[in-house]
Chains A and B, each alone.
Chain A
Amino acid sequence: MKKELLLGNHAIARGAWEAGVEFAVGYPGTPSTEILETLTQFPDVHAQWAANEKVAFEEGMGAAIGGVRVLVTMKHVGLNVAADPFMVFPYAGTNAGFVVISADDPGMHSSQNEQDNRYLARVAKVPVLEPSDCQECKDFVRAGLELSEKFGVPVMLRTTTRLAHHKSLVEIGDRTTVPKREFVPDAKRFSVPIYRRLLRPKVEQRLEQLRAYAEETPLNRIEEGDPMIGVVTNGISYQYVKEVMPQASILRLGMTHPLPRDLLVDFCAKHGKVYVVEEGEPFIEEHMLALGIPNIEGKQRFGVIGEYSPGRLAAALGLGEVPEGFASEINIMPRPPMFCVGCGHRTVFSALRQMRVTVSGDIGCYTMGALPPFEASHTTFCMGASIGVAVGLERAGEERVVAVIGDSTFVHAGMPSLVDSVYNRSKLTLIILDNSTTGMTGGQPHPASGKDIYGGHAPRLNLVALCNAAGVEHVSRVDAWNRKQVFGAIREALEFDGPSVVIVHGPCQRIPEMKQREIIPFFVEEELCTQCEACLKVFCPAITLNARGFPEIHPAECTACTLCAQVCPPEAIIPLPPDRSGTP
């Protein structure tokens, strides 16, 4: 058997391919994004980015009832957006296998909240599988698809950041071709909501059958050890338990919804003391408490907030302290992320900082506009919220409210809000940061980018026409690297008595076309420089002060965006002549 070192997300993609998935769809979100990107490398799977998670889920749902195996991917908060179809799909049930990845983010490495989606699955009455390593990331996709077909139910495969973003060895195999199932129109199942009442008892019956399955499935397994100490665990926590309590008896739950009643009761009856080690919420523990199991201990000892780790478990069990770092003894200042060299978002936040307006921000790279040195973004909640929150702030009496949203986020959840704001006679100014990609998650194309997931050309949403169609009377489109234009357009929009939109166009420096470009870097002609430091106020990471006290532009990093040159009073920042390249 061939083994490869695979990232959890690569293993999931591989698993989908091997298990005969034909259609994979999702919306980018850390830590789920690489799954779909990897699937583009497999010829027998069609992958596509959807406009948002709800659309992705619905496209997947359609394909699954249409008869092909489906994988849908999103991060935990994505499932909130897709919650509507997620909650109703189990009523009708699926035809071919349907697995949705919920990539949760304990520790909030790159998320706006910590949310344990096993609870959403419980509300939806959907089974949940939780792998513990990369091999299982792969294997559980197949197990999930088979479970889905066996019970006609959508299945959630829940991963977490550590699982999705760690590598370990995985045995790889070949693809199983799965024949397409026929789509049989059935009004009682698929189309007439009133019949859902008839389906309602079936949902409960199925849940009971799934519970019985959970008692038997090898996804849940017991590893016998010390009869005095038992551990019930799931997901990545299993690895930490093996590390810290190698002698304990373990009940590893690979299926955490519905939970196996008898297995849990029997396991606990056979062990003196049972620890419940599950990262996140006390999902398993509450169930065990509800079953009246007396000898367990979980959240009280290990905590609810943040990621688990071997060190944290050891400390909680009194097995040794973990050193904390030296921040109390020496200045270890944080190193927050910042706008990349040449990022067009910089111009907009320079303008907003100067104009002292109330800024309702959104989720994307531009969220960093809230941090020093710009500090020009005053609210951030969830994708698309900038516009609705701006309308509310206006209603509450704030004047000169600006909403700032990225292009991917605008397409994802901003479009209905823009229509709403015009309809409800808001006068807000909306700035759309059109960088032709979903920057924050590593650069995925979207409907306004003109590209598809395979890098090919795709129909491109015309943002100007869309805003016009929504009824916005003042729409302008400017070059992100032209300071005068950007400042002028925002000022004009603010003065306009009615809703206005400024589209700031400048592709992300990380997309392939921009990276492959020939660049002539700029440099500081020290003879002309007056050391006024205006260029430093651009806050470009490529500019630092040199030993002589002059600003210096790192030639390998410069993108020739010219923002520093535009603010230099003596015009001392100029393109590096060819004979001086490589200096200083």
Chain B
Amino acid sequence: MSEHEKTYGVLFAGVGGQGALLAAEITAMAAVSGGYEVKQTEVHGVSQRGGSVETHVRFGKTVWSPVITPGRADLVVGLEKLEALRFAHFAHQSQGTILVNDHEILPGSVTNAAETYPHEALTFLNDKGYRVITIPASEMARDLGDGRMANVVMLGAMSNLLPIEEKVWLDTLRKRIPEKYRQPNLKAFEAGRKMSDPPKG
């Protein structure tokens, strides 16, 4: 299938408050500017109180379902390791990529010592045959002045893997991010973008 016929699917997973929704929204907006039909799911309510958050973006010539079928996502973007693991099976086994922020947020049950966090998540996914790219996004964002920009670092990293031009991404960021936070976020995006290979073939 040519790039133009294909429907792309990107799943963002994270913890409430990490900005998974914002990353998805920017992706959806960029895809619209790129001339695609777009659908995006959101989560509201309970999921935002520090619970796990999942949001899907699909774009292409025609898009029917707003939700991605497990095993079909081109990209799974995990803003946190456990959440990447929770939604990893949405990625296409051979052609998909899982991008993970190398960052752990312990759920309450781990802090209370009732459970053990799966620190080995990334090795596990590698062993399953997935293409996994690890990005120290939280650390990079902190170095750039604000750890909360990890979502935008990840956005930069994944932007390389989608058929949307860099200029479109930057314009979308400029449009969506309020003036006060714009410059640092553009820097975060660029830093992230340098972390992933451009698409092959």
B77-114 contact mask (Cβ, 8 Å, vs A): 1 or 0: 00000110111110001000000000000111111101
Is the Cβ of B67 less than 8 Å from the Cβ of A110?
no
B69 part of interface (Cβ distance < 8 Å)? yes
Which B residues lie within 8 Å of A311 (CB)?
Answer: 69-70
- The yes or no answer to A192 lying at the interface (CB within 8 A) is no
Find B45's partner among A110, A324, A332 (CB 8 Å cutoff). Answer: A110
| Segment from A47-55, A145-153, A236-244, A488-496 that makes contact with B | A236-244
Please determine whether A440 and B89 come into contact, CB atoms closer than 8 angstroms.
Answer: no
CA distance A310 to B147 in the complex (A): 37
Q: A30 interface residue, CB < 8 Å from B?
A: yes
Interface residues of B in 160-200 (CB under 8 A from A): none
Cβ of B121 < 8 Å from any Cβ of A?
yes
Cβ of A314 under 8 Å from chain B: yes
A309 x B45 contact (CB < 8 A): no
A323 within 8 A of B: yes
Distance (whole angstroms) from the CB of A167 to the closest CB of chain B: 4
- Say yes or no: A337 contacts B66, CB within 8 Å: no
Q: Quick one: closest A residue to B53, CB to CB?
A: A335
What's the minimum C-beta distance from A439 to chain B, rounded to whole angstroms? Answer: 9
Partner of B70, one of A324, A365, A373, A440: A324
List chain A residues, Cβ under 8 A from B148: 556
A309 CA / B32 CA spacing, docked (Å): 24
Whether A30 touches B66, Cβ cut-off 8 Å, given contacts A5-B29, A332-B118, is: no
Question: Which residues on B sit within 8 Å (CB–CB) of A309?
Answer: 65, 67, 69
A335 touches B82 (CB 8 A): yes
Interface size for B (C-beta < 8 A) is 56
B189 → A minimal CB distance (Å): 20
Contact A169 B111 (CB under 8 A): no
Provide the B108-131 mask, 1 if CB < 8 A to any CB of A, else 0.
111110111110110010001000
Contact pattern, A 310-352, Cβ under 8 Å of B = 1, otherwise 0:
1100100000001111100111111111111000000000000
Q: Chain A contacts of B49 at CB under 8 A?
A: 337-340, 365, 368
Beta-carbon contact of A314 and B16 below 8 Å: no
Chain B residues with CB under 8 A of A38: none
Q: Residue on A with the closest CB to B16?
A: A337
Instruction: Say yes or no: B65 contacts A333, CB within 8 Å.
Output: no
* Interface-lining segment among B35-43, B132-140, B149-157: B35-43
Q: Is B28 an interface residue (CB 8 A)?
A: yes
Report the minimal beta-carbon distance from A579 to chain B, rounded to whole angstroms.
Answer: 19
Chain A residue at minimum C-beta to C-beta distance from B93 = A323
List chain A residues, Cβ under 8 A from B70.
311, 322-325
A332–B44 CA distance with the chains assembled, in angstroms: 22
Within 8 Å CB of B37, what residues of A?
A: 168-169
Binds B, one of A213-221, A280-288, A399-407, A536-544: A536-544
Do A166 and B66 contact each other (CB < 8 Å), given the known contacts A373-B112, A441-B45?
yes
Q: How far is it, in angstroms, between the C-alpha of A5 and the C-alpha of B24 when the chains are bound?
A: 13
Decide if A7 is an interface residue (CB 8 Å cutoff): yes
- CB of A200 within 8 Å of the partner chain: no
B46 beta carbon closer than 8 Å to chain A: yes
Cross-chain contact A109 with B88 (CB below 8 angstroms): no
Q: Bound complex: CA of A556 vs CA of B43, how far in Å? A: 24
Q: Specify which of B28, B85, B147 is in contact with A330 (CB 8 Å cutoff).
A: B85
B96 to chain A, nearest CB (A): 11
Give the CA-CA distance A335 to B43 in the complex, in Å.
15
Check A165–B44 contact: CB distance below 8 A: yes
B65 touches A310 (CB 8 A): yes
What's the nearest-Cβ distance from chain B to residue A188, in Å?
Answer: 44
Q: B66: which of A162, A338, A536 is its contact (CB, 8 Å)?
A: A162
Question: Nearest Cβ in chain B — how far from A278, in angstroms?
Answer: 16
Q: 1/0 per position for A7-27, CB-CB distance to B under 8 A?
A: 100000000000000000000
Contact B83 A335 (CB under 8 A): yes
A292 within 8 A of B: no
Please name the residue on chain B nearest to A338 by beta carbon: B50
Contacting pair A314 B69 (CB below 8 A):
yes
The contact sample of 19 A-B pairs, CB cut-off 8 A, is A5-B38, A109-B43, A162-B41, A165-B44, A166-B42, A168-B63, A242-B64, A309-B65, A310-B64, A310-B65, A310-B69, A325-B87, A330-B120, A330-B121, A332-B82, A333-B109, A335-B15, A336-B108, A441-B45
Q: 9 tightest CB-CB pairs across the interface, nearest first?
A: A337-B49, A110-B45, A337-B51, A30-B45, A166-B66, A311-B69, A243-B64, A242-B64, A335-B52
Binding site for B on A (CB under 8 A): 5, 7, 30-31, 33-34, 109-110, 162, 165-169, 236, 239-240, 242-243, 309-311, 314, 322-326, 329-340, 365, 368, 372-373, 440-442, 536, 539, 541, 544-545, 556
